[in-house]
Amino acid sequence: MVYLCMLFLLTACVGDVDQGQRKDTESVPVQDSLAVKAIEVESSVNPEVVGWFDSDHILYNVSEGNSKSSLFRHHLYSGKSTFFASVNGIIEAVYPNENYSLFAVKVSESYAEKTLFIVDEHGTEILSKSIEGVDFSFSWNPYEDTTAALGILDETFNTQLYMIHLGGEEWETVMDFPYYSQWIGKENLAYLNWKDNPYGFKAPLNEWHVASPFSLDSDQRLHDEVIMFYGLSSDYYLTVSTEEESHLTSRFQLHDLNTKEPLEEWESPSFMTESGDWWVPELSYQNNVLYYYEPISDNSRFSLVMLEIKSMEKQELDIFSEASSIKISPDGQFILIGEKLDILLNVETDESDLLIP
Protein backbone atom coordinates (compact mmCIF):
# COMPACT_ATOMS: atom_id res chain seq x y z
CA MET A 1 0.00 0.00 0.00
CA VAL A 2 2.94 2.35 0.63
CA TYR A 3 4.03 1.74 -2.94
CA LEU A 4 0.56 2.43 -4.29
CA CYS A 5 0.19 5.61 -2.26
CA MET A 6 3.55 6.80 -3.51
CA LEU A 7 2.47 6.21 -7.09
CA PHE A 8 -0.79 8.07 -6.58
CA LEU A 9 1.24 11.02 -5.37
CA LEU A 10 3.48 10.83 -8.38
CA THR A 11 0.87 10.49 -11.12
CA ALA A 12 -1.42 14.11 -10.89
CA CYS A 13 -14.35 10.55 -20.42
CA VAL A 14 -13.80 12.20 -23.52
CA GLY A 15 -16.48 14.06 -25.51
CA ASP A 16 -16.29 15.78 -28.83
CA VAL A 17 -13.24 17.87 -29.57
CA ASP A 18 -13.37 21.18 -31.37
CA GLN A 19 -10.43 21.86 -33.66
CA GLY A 20 -7.93 24.37 -32.28
CA GLN A 21 -5.93 26.79 -34.35
CA ARG A 22 -2.50 26.05 -35.78
CA LYS A 23 0.40 26.02 -33.40
CA ASP A 24 2.23 28.90 -35.05
CA THR A 25 -0.81 31.09 -35.71
CA GLU A 26 -0.14 33.54 -32.89
CA SER A 27 3.54 33.03 -32.36
CA VAL A 28 5.18 36.26 -31.26
CA PRO A 29 8.97 36.75 -31.19
CA VAL A 30 10.16 36.44 -27.61
CA GLN A 31 12.27 39.26 -26.23
CA ASP A 32 13.84 39.20 -22.81
CA SER A 33 12.49 42.67 -22.09
CA LEU A 34 8.87 41.64 -22.62
CA ALA A 35 6.83 41.23 -19.45
CA VAL A 36 4.91 38.04 -18.77
CA LYS A 37 1.15 38.62 -18.75
CA ALA A 38 -1.18 36.70 -16.45
CA ILE A 39 -4.27 34.77 -17.53
CA GLU A 40 -7.35 37.01 -17.62
CA VAL A 41 -10.65 35.29 -16.92
CA GLU A 42 -13.96 36.17 -15.30
CA SER A 43 -14.02 36.07 -11.51
CA SER A 44 -16.35 33.06 -11.53
CA VAL A 45 -13.86 30.98 -13.54
CA ASN A 46 -11.16 29.00 -11.76
CA PRO A 47 -8.41 28.17 -14.28
CA GLU A 48 -5.65 25.65 -13.63
CA VAL A 49 -2.38 25.54 -15.55
CA VAL A 50 -1.58 22.02 -16.82
CA GLY A 51 1.73 22.50 -18.64
CA TRP A 52 3.44 23.79 -21.75
CA PHE A 53 2.15 24.00 -25.33
CA ASP A 54 5.44 25.40 -26.66
CA SER A 55 8.13 27.77 -25.36
CA ASP A 56 5.84 30.81 -25.65
CA HIS A 57 2.49 29.29 -24.67
CA ILE A 58 1.15 27.46 -21.65
CA LEU A 59 -1.94 25.28 -21.53
CA TYR A 60 -4.58 25.89 -18.89
CA ASN A 61 -7.79 24.08 -18.04
CA VAL A 62 -11.21 25.49 -17.17
CA SER A 63 -13.72 23.09 -15.60
CA GLU A 64 -17.38 23.84 -16.26
CA GLY A 65 -20.39 23.00 -14.09
CA ASN A 66 -21.72 20.39 -16.53
CA SER A 67 -18.65 18.13 -16.05
CA LYS A 68 -17.04 19.49 -19.16
CA SER A 69 -13.47 20.76 -19.28
CA SER A 70 -11.81 23.00 -21.84
CA LEU A 71 -8.13 23.56 -22.59
CA PHE A 72 -6.85 26.97 -23.65
CA ARG A 73 -3.49 28.19 -24.92
CA HIS A 74 -2.14 31.34 -23.28
CA HIS A 75 0.64 33.38 -24.89
CA LEU A 76 2.98 34.56 -22.15
CA TYR A 77 3.86 37.90 -23.71
CA SER A 78 0.74 39.05 -25.57
CA GLY A 79 -1.57 37.78 -22.81
CA LYS A 80 -3.95 36.36 -25.43
CA SER A 81 -5.74 33.08 -24.73
CA THR A 82 -7.25 30.87 -27.45
CA PHE A 83 -9.36 27.73 -27.30
CA PHE A 84 -7.52 24.44 -27.85
CA ALA A 85 -9.82 21.47 -27.08
CA SER A 86 -12.69 20.34 -24.85
CA VAL A 87 -13.56 17.03 -23.19
CA ASN A 88 -16.33 15.53 -21.05
CA GLY A 89 -15.00 14.92 -17.55
CA ILE A 90 -12.29 16.27 -15.30
CA ILE A 91 -8.81 16.77 -16.75
CA GLU A 92 -6.22 15.34 -14.35
CA ALA A 93 -3.05 15.74 -16.42
CA VAL A 94 -1.69 16.56 -19.88
CA TYR A 95 1.41 14.81 -21.25
CA PRO A 96 3.16 16.29 -24.32
CA ASN A 97 5.43 14.08 -26.39
CA GLU A 98 9.09 14.90 -26.89
CA ASN A 99 8.59 17.48 -29.68
CA TYR A 100 5.21 18.81 -28.45
CA SER A 101 3.40 17.60 -31.56
CA LEU A 102 1.00 15.36 -29.62
CA PHE A 103 -0.71 15.81 -26.25
CA ALA A 104 -2.13 12.96 -24.17
CA VAL A 105 -4.91 14.04 -21.82
CA LYS A 106 -5.87 12.06 -18.72
CA VAL A 107 -9.60 12.49 -18.07
CA SER A 108 -11.72 11.19 -15.18
CA GLU A 109 -15.48 10.76 -15.10
CA SER A 110 -15.68 8.71 -11.92
CA TYR A 111 -13.47 6.82 -9.47
CA ALA A 112 -13.11 3.78 -11.72
CA GLU A 113 -13.69 5.35 -15.14
CA LYS A 114 -10.89 7.12 -16.96
CA THR A 115 -10.28 8.08 -20.56
CA LEU A 116 -7.05 8.55 -22.46
CA PHE A 117 -7.45 11.21 -25.08
CA ILE A 118 -4.72 12.23 -27.57
CA VAL A 119 -4.81 15.37 -29.74
CA ASP A 120 -2.32 16.87 -32.14
CA GLU A 121 -0.90 20.40 -31.98
CA HIS A 122 -4.04 21.77 -33.68
CA GLY A 123 -6.42 20.25 -31.11
CA THR A 124 -7.60 17.54 -33.51
CA GLU A 125 -8.48 14.20 -31.92
CA ILE A 126 -6.06 11.40 -32.77
CA LEU A 127 -7.20 8.77 -30.29
CA SER A 128 -9.60 8.24 -27.39
CA LYS A 129 -9.84 5.13 -25.25
CA SER A 130 -12.07 4.41 -22.26
CA ILE A 131 -10.21 2.75 -19.41
CA GLU A 132 -11.71 0.76 -16.54
CA GLY A 133 -9.40 1.45 -13.64
CA VAL A 134 -8.84 3.69 -10.66
CA ASP A 135 -5.75 5.25 -12.22
CA PHE A 136 -3.30 5.02 -15.07
CA SER A 137 0.24 6.19 -15.77
CA PHE A 138 1.34 7.40 -19.20
CA SER A 139 4.82 7.74 -20.67
CA TRP A 140 5.71 8.84 -24.19
CA ASN A 141 8.69 7.12 -25.77
CA PRO A 142 11.27 9.95 -26.01
CA TYR A 143 12.84 8.27 -29.03
CA GLU A 144 9.64 7.74 -31.06
CA ASP A 145 7.03 10.51 -31.07
CA THR A 146 4.06 8.20 -31.72
CA THR A 147 4.83 5.41 -29.24
CA ALA A 148 3.86 5.34 -25.57
CA ALA A 149 3.40 3.07 -22.54
CA LEU A 150 0.09 3.09 -20.66
CA GLY A 151 0.01 1.37 -17.26
CA ILE A 152 -3.40 0.65 -15.70
CA LEU A 153 -4.34 -0.04 -12.07
CA ASP A 154 -7.81 -1.53 -11.48
CA GLU A 155 -10.00 -1.60 -8.37
CA THR A 156 -8.56 -4.92 -7.22
CA PHE A 157 -4.99 -3.59 -7.62
CA ASN A 158 -4.28 -5.76 -10.65
CA THR A 159 -2.11 -4.10 -13.28
CA GLN A 160 -1.58 -4.29 -17.01
CA LEU A 161 0.33 -2.43 -19.69
CA TYR A 162 -0.73 -1.20 -23.11
CA MET A 163 1.94 -0.44 -25.69
CA ILE A 164 0.50 2.30 -27.89
CA HIS A 165 1.60 2.66 -31.51
CA LEU A 166 -0.25 5.48 -33.23
CA GLY A 167 -0.79 5.20 -36.94
CA GLY A 168 -3.08 2.21 -37.35
CA GLU A 169 -1.22 -0.54 -35.51
CA GLU A 170 -3.10 -2.54 -32.89
CA TRP A 171 -2.29 -2.01 -29.24
CA GLU A 172 -0.14 -4.58 -27.49
CA THR A 173 -1.38 -5.72 -24.08
CA VAL A 174 0.93 -7.04 -21.36
CA MET A 175 -0.91 -8.53 -18.38
CA ASP A 176 0.39 -8.09 -14.82
CA PHE A 177 2.99 -5.56 -15.93
CA PRO A 178 3.69 -3.11 -13.04
CA TYR A 179 1.64 0.06 -13.06
CA TYR A 180 4.57 2.50 -13.17
CA SER A 181 7.33 2.22 -15.78
CA GLN A 182 9.81 4.48 -17.52
CA TRP A 183 11.61 4.31 -20.85
CA ILE A 184 15.35 3.67 -20.54
CA GLY A 185 16.10 3.23 -24.21
CA LYS A 186 14.20 3.19 -27.48
CA GLU A 187 12.93 -0.36 -26.93
CA ASN A 188 13.30 -0.85 -23.17
CA LEU A 189 11.07 -0.16 -20.19
CA ALA A 190 12.22 -0.24 -16.56
CA TYR A 191 9.96 -1.14 -13.65
CA LEU A 192 10.16 -2.04 -9.96
CA ASN A 193 9.66 -5.77 -9.39
CA TRP A 194 7.51 -6.17 -6.28
CA LYS A 195 6.77 -9.87 -6.84
CA ASP A 196 8.76 -11.22 -3.88
CA ASN A 197 7.77 -8.43 -1.50
CA PRO A 198 4.53 -6.76 -2.70
CA TYR A 199 4.09 -4.71 0.49
CA GLY A 200 7.73 -3.80 0.87
CA PHE A 201 9.51 -0.52 0.85
CA LYS A 202 12.15 -1.31 -1.77
CA ALA A 203 12.29 -3.52 -4.83
CA PRO A 204 14.71 -4.62 -7.55
CA LEU A 205 14.75 -2.49 -10.69
CA ASN A 206 14.16 -4.63 -13.77
CA GLU A 207 14.55 -3.90 -17.48
CA TRP A 208 12.20 -5.33 -20.12
CA HIS A 209 12.91 -5.33 -23.86
CA VAL A 210 9.52 -4.64 -25.44
CA ALA A 211 10.08 -7.11 -28.29
CA SER A 212 10.68 -9.98 -25.82
CA PRO A 213 8.18 -11.94 -23.71
CA PHE A 214 7.56 -10.25 -20.37
CA SER A 215 8.60 -12.13 -17.23
CA LEU A 216 9.16 -10.84 -13.71
CA ASP A 217 11.53 -13.78 -13.16
CA SER A 218 13.66 -13.62 -16.30
CA ASP A 219 13.80 -9.88 -17.09
CA GLN A 220 17.21 -8.36 -16.49
CA ARG A 221 17.76 -7.04 -12.98
CA LEU A 222 19.58 -3.70 -13.02
CA HIS A 223 19.73 -2.73 -9.35
CA ASP A 224 18.58 -4.00 -5.95
CA GLU A 225 16.55 -2.17 -3.28
CA VAL A 226 15.39 0.82 -5.30
CA ILE A 227 12.62 3.05 -3.98
CA MET A 228 11.96 5.15 -7.09
CA PHE A 229 13.54 5.70 -10.50
CA TYR A 230 13.26 8.04 -13.49
CA GLY A 231 14.20 7.71 -17.14
CA LEU A 232 15.82 11.04 -17.97
CA SER A 233 17.17 11.01 -21.51
CA SER A 234 19.03 9.01 -24.11
CA ASP A 235 22.09 9.20 -21.83
CA TYR A 236 20.93 8.80 -18.22
CA TYR A 237 18.48 7.35 -15.76
CA LEU A 238 18.17 8.11 -12.05
CA THR A 239 17.54 5.83 -9.07
CA VAL A 240 16.59 6.79 -5.51
CA SER A 241 17.38 4.53 -2.57
CA THR A 242 18.27 4.48 1.11
CA GLU A 243 20.21 2.02 3.24
CA GLU A 244 17.39 1.40 5.70
CA GLU A 245 13.78 2.51 5.96
CA SER A 246 14.55 4.43 9.11
CA HIS A 247 17.34 6.46 7.54
CA LEU A 248 16.60 10.14 7.05
CA THR A 249 18.89 10.46 4.04
CA SER A 250 18.05 9.50 0.45
CA ARG A 251 20.70 8.53 -2.07
CA PHE A 252 20.32 9.68 -5.68
CA GLN A 253 22.40 7.87 -8.29
CA LEU A 254 22.76 8.95 -11.90
CA HIS A 255 23.46 6.00 -14.21
CA ASP A 256 24.84 5.67 -17.71
CA LEU A 257 22.00 4.38 -19.89
CA ASN A 258 24.25 2.07 -21.91
CA THR A 259 26.54 0.58 -19.27
CA LYS A 260 24.08 0.93 -16.32
CA GLU A 261 27.05 2.03 -14.23
CA PRO A 262 26.67 4.90 -11.72
CA LEU A 263 28.19 8.18 -12.89
CA GLU A 264 27.38 10.53 -10.02
CA GLU A 265 25.86 10.20 -6.57
CA TRP A 266 24.50 12.69 -4.07
CA GLU A 267 22.45 12.66 -0.92
CA SER A 268 19.39 14.60 0.17
CA PRO A 269 17.20 14.65 3.28
CA SER A 270 14.39 12.12 2.92
CA PHE A 271 10.78 13.16 2.51
CA MET A 272 8.52 11.76 5.20
CA THR A 273 4.72 12.05 5.34
CA GLU A 274 2.85 12.73 8.57
CA SER A 275 2.27 8.97 8.90
CA GLY A 276 6.00 8.33 8.61
CA ASP A 277 5.90 6.95 5.07
CA TRP A 278 8.77 7.61 2.68
CA TRP A 279 7.86 9.80 -0.28
CA VAL A 280 9.56 10.89 -3.53
CA PRO A 281 8.23 14.12 -5.04
CA GLU A 282 8.25 14.91 -8.74
CA LEU A 283 11.42 16.01 -10.42
CA SER A 284 12.09 17.26 -13.92
CA TYR A 285 15.03 17.00 -16.31
CA GLN A 286 16.03 18.65 -19.56
CA ASN A 287 19.27 19.38 -21.40
CA ASN A 288 21.57 18.09 -18.63
CA VAL A 289 19.78 20.11 -15.94
CA LEU A 290 17.82 18.42 -13.16
CA TYR A 291 15.25 20.21 -10.96
CA TYR A 292 14.10 18.63 -7.71
CA TYR A 293 13.07 19.48 -4.14
CA GLU A 294 14.94 19.01 -0.89
CA PRO A 295 13.02 19.14 2.41
CA ILE A 296 14.12 21.51 5.15
CA SER A 297 12.75 22.19 8.64
CA ASP A 298 11.26 18.72 9.13
CA ASN A 299 9.42 18.74 5.80
CA SER A 300 7.64 22.00 6.62
CA ARG A 301 9.50 23.82 3.83
CA PHE A 302 11.09 22.72 0.58
CA SER A 303 14.06 24.02 -1.34
CA LEU A 304 13.82 23.96 -5.14
CA VAL A 305 17.22 22.88 -6.42
CA MET A 306 18.77 23.10 -9.89
CA LEU A 307 21.57 20.60 -10.56
CA GLU A 308 23.75 20.85 -13.66
CA ILE A 309 24.61 17.25 -14.47
CA LYS A 310 27.90 17.71 -16.33
CA SER A 311 29.54 19.87 -13.68
CA MET A 312 27.39 18.67 -10.73
CA GLU A 313 27.00 22.31 -9.72
CA LYS A 314 24.04 22.75 -7.42
CA GLN A 315 21.99 25.93 -7.01
CA GLU A 316 19.06 26.66 -4.72
CA LEU A 317 16.44 28.62 -6.64
CA ASP A 318 13.81 29.31 -3.98
CA ILE A 319 12.05 27.96 -0.89
CA PHE A 320 8.39 26.89 -0.85
CA SER A 321 5.86 25.63 1.65
CA GLU A 322 5.06 22.58 -0.50
CA ALA A 323 6.77 20.34 -3.05
CA SER A 324 4.60 20.65 -6.15
CA SER A 325 4.96 19.50 -9.74
CA ILE A 326 7.72 20.92 -11.93
CA LYS A 327 7.25 21.55 -15.66
CA ILE A 328 10.19 22.83 -17.74
CA SER A 329 9.52 24.91 -20.84
CA PRO A 330 10.69 23.34 -24.13
CA ASP A 331 13.52 25.90 -24.39
CA GLY A 332 14.53 25.40 -20.74
CA GLN A 333 14.15 29.10 -19.88
CA PHE A 334 11.20 28.77 -17.49
CA ILE A 335 9.69 26.26 -15.09
CA LEU A 336 6.10 26.04 -13.90
CA ILE A 337 5.65 25.25 -10.21
CA GLY A 338 2.98 25.61 -7.53
CA GLU A 339 -0.18 23.73 -6.59
CA LYS A 340 -1.86 24.91 -9.82
CA LEU A 341 1.43 25.32 -11.72
CA ASP A 342 0.60 29.02 -11.60
CA ILE A 343 4.09 30.26 -10.68
CA LEU A 344 6.37 30.94 -13.66
CA LEU A 345 10.03 30.99 -12.60
CA ASN A 346 12.75 32.32 -14.90
CA VAL A 347 15.71 30.04 -14.18
CA GLU A 348 18.24 32.56 -15.51
CA THR A 349 17.10 35.59 -13.53
CA ASP A 350 15.36 33.85 -10.56
CA GLU A 351 12.41 36.18 -11.17
CA SER A 352 8.91 34.76 -10.84
CA ASP A 353 5.46 35.73 -12.14
CA LEU A 354 2.03 34.65 -10.96
CA LEU A 355 0.02 33.40 -13.91
CA ILE A 356 -3.34 33.25 -12.11
CA PRO A 357 -3.99 36.50 -10.17
More confident residue, 116 or 198: 116
Radius of gyration over every alpha carbon of the chain, rounded to an integer in angstroms: 20
Cβ atoms < 10 Å from Cβ of 94: 26
- Vertex 35 angle, CA 34 and 41, to 5°: 130
**Residue 16: is its pLDDT beyond 50?**
no
- Vertex 18 angle, CA 17 and 20, to 5°: 120
Report the range of poorest mean pLDDT among 71-75, 120-124, 217-221.
Answer: 217-221
**Residue 26: is its pLDDT beyond 60?**
no
Element (H, E) at 51: strand 48-52
* Secondary structure (3-state) at 3: helix
Contact predicate 139/149, CB 8 Å: yes
The string of pLDDT tens digits covering residues 27-59 is: 444 444 479 999 998 877 889 999 999 999 999
- Cα dist. 352→30, 261, 345 in Å? 17, 38, 4
Contact predicate 75/84, CB 8 Å: no
d(CA 22, CA 5): 39
**Residue 275: is its pLDDT beyond 90?**
no
Mean pLDDT on 309-314: 88
More confident residue, 214 or 44: 214
Report the range of poorest mean pLDDT among 16-30, 120-134, 256-270, 321-335.
Answer: 16-30
The pLDDT of residue 27 is 47
Element (H, E) at 4: helix 2-10
d(CA 83, CA 234): 34
d(CA 225, CA 203): 5
As a whole number, the mean pLDDT across the chain is 85
pTM for the complete prediction? Answer: 0.85
The pLDDT of residue 312 is 87
**Residue 5: is its pLDDT beyond 80?**
no
The pLDDT of residue 190 is 96
d(CA 316, CA 270): 17
Report the range of poorest mean pLDDT among 51-60, 102-111, 217-226, 290-299.
Answer: 290-299
The string of pLDDT tens digits covering residues 141-184 is: 999 999 999 999 988 889 999 999 998 666 789 999 998 999 99
284 burial type by CB count under 10 A (0-12 exposed, 13-18 middle, 19+ buried): middle
Among 117, 97, 118, CA closest to 109 = 117
The pLDDT of residue 110 is 80
The string of pLDDT tens digits covering residues 104-140 is: 999 988 878 899 999 999 999 999 989 888 999 999 9
Mean pLDDT on 281-291: 87
Written as one string, the DSSP assignment of 6-29 is HHHHH------------TTTT---
- Phi and psi, residue 69, nearest 5°: -125, 145
Cα 160 to chain centroid distance, Å, stands at 19
d(CA 108, CA 91): 6
d(CA 45, CA 61): 10
Mean pLDDT on 208-235: 90
**Residue 236: is its pLDDT beyond 60?**
yes
More confident residue, 353 or 27: 353
Cβ atoms < 10 Å from Cβ of 248: 12
**Residue 13: is its pLDDT beyond 50?**
no
